[in-house]
Amino acid sequence: MLSVRKVLEILTRDFFADQVRSDADRKSTAEATWDSFRTAADADAAEHEEELAATAAVVHAMISAAAADGRIDAEERRRIFSRLDKADLLPSERAEIERAFEAPMPIYALAREATTPAQARAMYAGAVAAIIVDTPEETDFLRSLRERLGLPADTISEIHGRFGLDGG
């Protein structure tokens, strides 16, 4: 027969064992919740970084297109910023874009920036939107850019039509 003391020891031991298991369960639940939150936050951050990179690529395409004829004139600068101003740029972002005007990216570097067909399409549309194609250099730039981006003819026609560009 068990003594009262033995019963208390068993109950106490079992209580503490349950407590430890419960703490472990709570900890693992908390850790799982934290891991889930961290994974979601990391995914959101990665998605945000990808979005920023895609946006930067379009801006670089716009600037490079404007510089294709050897200079970026006031109208081209205005066209670029009129589109970018809708994005409520921070002063630091605007300053970064101003710096990008000083060193437009070459076409081969632009083409490497396009990691998806949608991004290639957006870059080309940005380039077309940024300029008035009135020089052979700008025409050559757009032709070379679309070739390097591997854009299909129907996509090119749709973009040209949207921005009122005949051929190019």
Q: Over 60: is that where the pLDDT of 121 sits?
A: yes
Q: Over 80: is that where the pLDDT of 48 sits?
A: no
**Residues 49-54, mean pLDDT to the nearest whole number:** 76
**pTM to 2 decimal places:** 0.70
Q: How far is CA 81 from CA 85, 100, 107, 130, in A?
A: 6, 13, 21, 9
**Residues 137-157, mean pLDDT to the nearest whole number:** 95
Output the CA angle 123-60-156, nearest 5 degrees.
20
Q: Give residue 142's pLDDT band: very low, low, confident or very high (50, 70, 90).
A: very high
CA 59 to chain centre: 12
Q: Give residue 163's pLDDT band: very low, low, confident or very high (50, 70, 90).
A: confident
Going by C-alpha positions, the residue among 67, 54, 78 that lies closest to residue 104 is: 67
Q: Over 90: is that where the pLDDT of 64 sits?
A: yes
Going by C-alpha positions, the residue among 140, 59, 50, 149 that lies closest to residue 105 is: 59
**How many angstroms separate the first and last alpha carbons of the chain?**
99
Q: Decide: 131 and 79 in contact? Cβ < 8 Å.
A: yes
Q: Decide: 129 and 62 in contact? Cβ < 8 Å.
A: yes
Highest mean pLDDT out of 22-36, 43-57, 110-124: 110-124
Q: Over 70: is that where the pLDDT of 152 sits?
A: yes
Angstrom distance (rounded) from CA 61 to CA 59:
5
Q: Give residue 138's pLDDT band: very low, low, confident or very high (50, 70, 90).
A: very high
Torsion of CA 154, 155, 161, 163, to 10 degrees: -170
Q: Decide: 77 and 142 in contact? Cβ < 8 Å.
A: no
- Structure confidence at residue 109 (pLDDT): 93
Q: Decide: 58 and 83 in contact? Cβ < 8 Å.
A: no
